[in-house]
Amino acid sequence: MTEWWTYRLSDFLMFSARTYRRLFELYNADVWPLPVLACIGAALWIGIAWRHRRVSAQPARVGLAVLAAAWLWVAWAFHFERYAMVNTAAPWFAAAFVLEALLLVAVAWAGLHGRTSLACGGRLGVGFGLLALAILGYPGLGVWLGRPLAQAEVFGIAPDPTAVGTLGMLLLTVSGRLSPARRRFIAAAWPIPLLWCGISGATLWTMDAPEAALLPALAGIAAAVAIGTRRSNDAA
């Protein structure tokens, strides 16, 4: 692209805010009742993971495997099948989501082992907080902003809450008993959800969406906690 410095962020927005919101409305209707099942299933998982937080990372392992399936689903059902209709960059997003799914499988398979507990302290609190926000808070966010419930963005179905929940999950998966090699697996799964929070935040910002700053802020919190609690979890 020549004269790239003359382009503004808004020059890359190809669709209206109305089209973007309708995309979720039609998507939810097409895959119904999957959004409700995803919400209930994820909420149940949070409860189980919280009860066993000090005993085993097994729920996190199961959660990561399911999360990987969710990233694959969002790549295909949302980015490739629907978002690509209005956004020429969506096939690239789909590819990135597939890659993240593979990384999450790698984390579940090789990054954890069953006898480790979940993270502790602030990391545990923020991790569960992000998961709860992604699973329970995100569907209500749009309604709170005056949008119909039919346009709700649901964890495991829509990309934004899936990325936020994944950051929460990644915060939970590091404890002091993990070897440096296993930690590297987990670290590799961070960039794509973080990047997505930036990209989607920018998209919402160009559409003047009131929640535009939320995703980058949550990503910033997750990254800060991950870096800030690295030493304390090392000592756990």
Q: Which range binds other proteins by CB under 8 A, 5-13, 34-42, 118-126, 192-200? A: 5-13
Q: How many CA atoms lie within 13 A of 135 on its CB side?
A: 25
Own/partner pairs, 206-213, CB within 8 angstroms, 24+ separation: 206/9, 206/10, 206/12, 206/13, 207/13, 207/16, 207/17, 207/20, 208/17, 209/17, 210/145, 211/141, 211/145
Is 208 an interacting residue with respect to other proteins (CB under 8 A)? no
Query: How far is Cα 128 from Cα 130, in angstroms, rounded to an integer?
Result: 5
Residue 216 in tokens:
């980058």
Q: Which of 9, 29, 40, 88 binds other proteins (CB under 8 A)?
A: 88
The single residue listed with the structure tokens 């963005």 is 153
Is 13 an interacting residue with respect to other proteins (CB under 8 A)? yes
Is 32 an interacting residue with respect to other proteins (CB under 8 A)? no
Give the nearest distance from C-beta 24 to other proteins in angstroms: 11
- Strand, helix or coil for residue 230: helix
Contacts with other proteins: how many residues (CB under 8 A)?
19
Give the nearest distance from C-beta 150 to other proteins in angstroms: 13
Q: Which residues in the 112-171 window bind other proteins by CB under 8 A? A: none
Is 179 an interacting residue with respect to other proteins (CB under 8 A)? no
Judged by beta carbon, residue 15 or residue 50, the one nearer other proteins is 15
Is 9 an interacting residue with respect to other proteins (CB under 8 A)? no
Q: Which of 31, 37, 86, 221 binds other proteins (CB under 8 A)?
A: 86
Give the nearest distance from C-beta 78 to other proteins in angstroms: 12
Contact yes or no for 63/45 (Cβ under 8 A): yes
Q: Which residues in the 54-83 window bind other proteins by CB under 8 A? A: 82
Residue 89 CA to chain centroid, in angstroms?
Answer: 19
Judged by beta carbon, residue 26 or residue 48, the one nearer other proteins is 26
Q: What are the DSSP calls for 90-139, one per residue?
A: HHHHHHHHHHHHHHHHHIIIII--TT-----HHHHHHHHHHHHIIIIIHH
Give the nearest distance from C-beta 32 to other proteins in angstroms: 16
What's the one-letter identity of residue 191? P
Bridge partners (DSSP) of residue 155 are: 158
Is 15 an interacting residue with respect to other proteins (CB under 8 A)? yes
Query: How far is Cα 229 from Cα 113, in angstroms, rounded to an integer?
Result: 21
Q: Which range binds other proteins by CB under 8 A, 9-17, 120-128, 159-167, 182-190? A: 9-17
Contacts with other proteins by CB under 8 A lie at: 2-3, 6, 10-11, 13-16, 18-19, 22-23, 26, 82, 85-88
